[in-house]
């Protein structure tokens, strides 16, 4: 699928990502870059960004990178995602970059690095994605 078509589909269908404030800023074949501004409602009771937000940013970004390689009649869903949280974040801006490591007929593997606004890596993730025909 072309990056333009994916970008358009992402705007219309990724409701949860939109709710969190995830915005895709770059699409290439096998690569996606997304950003997120941290809002107070995304923090946990300690004032630190909730780990689920970081996970969701990485998952969404990796899924986009895999999806960019698929035919228009295919989609992908995460089967497993492993996230390593490297440092806490209390505010600011996050940037996630994902690359596809392997894309087979039914399974793809991608990686993602998440950096804060100062360029420090705050998390890294690896995900396996199941590929199937659209319903």
Q: What's the number of domains the chain is made of?
A: 1
CATH of the domain at 121: 3.10.129.10
* HSE toward the beta carbon, residue 78, CA cutoff 13 A: 20
Measured between alpha carbons, how far is 45 from 84 in angstroms, rounded to an integer?
A: 21
Of residues 111 and 1, more confidence is placed in 111
Measured between alpha carbons, how far is 27 from 1 in angstroms, rounded to an integer?
A: 11
Q: What is the pLDDT of residue 63?
A: 96
Crossing angle of helices 51-67 and 3-13, in 10° steps, is 140
Percent of the chain with pLDDT over 90: 84
The pLDDT tens digits of the residues spanning 6-51 come to 666 656 677 888 899 999 999 999 999 999 999 999 999 999 999 9
Instruction: Give the closest residue to 25 by CA, choosing from 14, 11, 13, 15.
Output: 11
- Residue 1, pLDDT above cutoff 60: no
What mean pLDDT, rounded, does the chain reach?
92
Domain that holds residue 59: 3-133
Complete edge-to-edge strand list for the sheet that includes strand 107-116:
23-28, 31-37, 93-103, 107-116, 121-133, 74-85
Torsion of CA 53, 58, 64, 65, to 10 degrees: 170
Q: Average pLDDT of 110-127?
A: 97
Q: What is the pLDDT of residue 71?
A: 92
């Amino acid at each position: 699928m072309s990056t333009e078509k994916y970008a358009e589909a992402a705007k219309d269908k990724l409701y949860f990502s939109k709710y969190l404030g995830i915005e895709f800023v770059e699409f290439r074949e096998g690569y996606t870059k997304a950003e997120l501004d941290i809002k107070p409602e995304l923090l946990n009771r300690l004032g630190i960004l909730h780990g689920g937000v970081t996970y969701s940013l990485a998952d969404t970004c990796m899924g986009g990178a895999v999806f960019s390689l698929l035919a228009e009649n295919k989609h992908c869903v995460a089967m497993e995602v492993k996230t390593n949280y490297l440092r806490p974040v209390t505010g600011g801006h996050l940037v996630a970059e994902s690359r596809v490591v392997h894309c087979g007929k039914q399974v793809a593997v991608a990686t993602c690095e998440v950096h804060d606004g100062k360029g420090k890596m705050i998390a890294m993730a690896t995900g396996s994605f199941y590929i199937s025909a659209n319903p």
